[in-house]
Amino acid sequence: MYKRQVVSSCLERAVIGKMLLFNPCRGIVYPEITNKNFKPVKIAGQNLKRMTNDEIIRFFDVARDTRYYELYMLLLFTGMRIGEACALEWKDVDFQNNYLHVYKTINIVPVYYDDNGNKLDRPYYIKQITSPKRTASIRKIPLFKAAVDALYSWREKQLADKRKYKKSGGLKICY
């Protein structure tokens, strides 16, 4: 309602200043807003459902044969955000001291203009690695044995893919 009031107020001043003959916002009947379609915004820490131990075990039993099993393990045992995990590189993993150094995240951002500055008809999206929004998100995360084992297994899968598909690079943990 606030935006409507601001626009109407501006137009009313234009009428007073004799720039307009009448305020086109006067007499408009706006549709009534009902609570029927209202969905509350989820506030961090409230109404969150945590998986039970049985649900976690069932999830990993099903996920065991998927391509991203190790990623799921890493997320569970570190509490990392998905964007942080996908931005990890092998140099961020300290296997000797069993910790991860988290200092970047991956975001998907829209591109609205081409390289010449021309507006595109339709935006496209790119992955972009950036530093986290908050400096508190830069941290070292200790690794449990299960997370270390998952990382070693993931590394083996990457090396096998690299040999099979002749991929170059392989620095990123997620690809």
CATH of the domain at 110: 1.10.443.10
pLDDT in the model for residue 46 = 63
CA pair distance 85, 100, nearest whole angstrom: 10
pLDDT in the model for residue 157 = 86
Digit-coded pLDDT (tens) for 142-157: 998 988 998 999 898 8
pLDDT in the model for residue 31 = 60
pLDDT band, residue 24 (cuts 50/70/90): confident
Number of domains in the chain: 2
* Beta pairing partners, 129: 106
Q: State the pTM of this model.
A: 0.62
pLDDT band, residue 129 (cuts 50/70/90): very high
Within-domain flag for 171: no
Does 83 share its domain with 144?
Answer: yes
User: In 3-state terms, what secondary structure has residue 82?
Assistant: helix
Digit-coded pLDDT (tens) for 105-128: 998 889 999 999 999 999 999 999
Q: Which domain holds residue 59?
A: 53-165
User: In 3-state terms, what secondary structure has residue 13?
Assistant: helix
Quick check: 135 and 115 in contact, CB under 8 A? no
pLDDT band, residue 93 (cuts 50/70/90): very high
Does 65 share its domain with 145?
Answer: yes
Average pLDDT of 82-101?
93
CA pair distance 121, 112, nearest whole angstrom: 8
Between residues 21 and 55, which one has the greater pLDDT?
55
Kindly calculate the radius of gyration of the chain based on its CA atoms and give it in whole angstroms: 26
Within-domain flag for 175: no
DSSP structure string for 129-170: EE--SSGGG-EEEE--HHHHHHHHHHHHHHHHHHHHHT----
Quick check: 8 and 23 in contact, CB under 8 A? yes
Within-domain flag for 170: no
Within-domain flag for 152: yes
Average pLDDT of 49-77?
87
Between residues 45 and 28, which one has the greater pLDDT?
28
